[in-house]
């Protein structure tokens, strides 16, 4: 198994363990509508950041945008589109990622949660331009048009993925977290 694949598996296991998933209903959110799914008009960037921030269509639209042309496989075949949006790394650095200099960010990750409680984990090392440099996008347009109610005002696009499994729509929260310290 490739190093990157092993890293993702380890991060997923750590995340599931830290969040108490896999045991009864501990993974459920506190209020009844937390996992109802559907359109999201804003998301929050929170966790281990100096400046937690809420974004809506207007505030995200005011930031510098990039365009990513992606193709990923679906059960009906390949799907291609051009997405416009803000690089996730840019949002994270604007929020000011809190880091421990002795760990050099090696064990930090981003947990993205949708309104239906679908969660995706990305290692900060994947996003850091000085390490993995993945151009993960918080997209607010597809093929030049705003995203519709089926996606929320913004969605995550991970251009390097062969399948769209980490492409998340109806974003509710983007949270920076740390795994356990090295032993």
pLDDT digits (tens, 9 = 90+) for 29-62: 445 567 888 999 999 999 999 999 999 999 999 9
pLDDT digits (tens, 9 = 90+) for 85-105: 999 999 999 999 998 777 655
Q: Which domains does the chain have, with CATH numbers?
A: 35-178 (3.90.420.10)
Residues 126/132, Cβ–Cβ less than 8 Å: yes
**Residue with structure tokens 């390097």?**
160
33: how many CB neighbours lie within 10 A of its CB? Answer: 9
This prediction has a pTM of 0.79
For strands 171-178 and 42-47, give the pairing: parallel
Residues 154/43, Cβ–Cβ less than 8 Å: yes
How far apart (Å, rounded) are the C-alpha atoms in residues 71 and 83?
A: 11
How far apart (Å, rounded) are the C-alpha atoms in residues 48 and 165?
A: 25
Residues 114/170, Cβ–Cβ less than 8 Å: yes
């Amino acid at each position: 198994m490739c190093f990157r694949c092993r890293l993702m598996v380890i991060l997923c296991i750590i995340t599931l363990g830290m969040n108490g998933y896999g045991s009864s209903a501990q993974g459920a959110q506190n209020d009844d509508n937390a996992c109802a799914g559907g359109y999201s008009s804003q998301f929050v960037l929170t966790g281990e950041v100096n400046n937690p921030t809420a974004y809506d269509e207007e505030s995200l639209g005011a930031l510098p945008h990039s365009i990513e042309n992606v193709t990923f496989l679906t059960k009906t075949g390949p799907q291609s589109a051009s997405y416009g949006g803000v690089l996730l790394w840019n949002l994270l650095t604007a929020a000011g990622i809190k880091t421990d200099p002795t760990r050099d960010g090696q064990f930090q990750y981003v947990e993205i949660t949708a309104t239906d409680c679908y969660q995706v984990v990305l290692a900060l090392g994947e996003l850091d331009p000085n390490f993995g440099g993945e151009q993960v996008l918080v997209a607010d347009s597809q093929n030049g048009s705003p995203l519709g109610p089926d996606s929320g005002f913004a969605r995550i696009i991970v251009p390097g993925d062969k399948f769209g499994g980490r492409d998340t729509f109806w974003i509710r929260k983007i949270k920076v977290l740390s795994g356990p310290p090295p032993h």
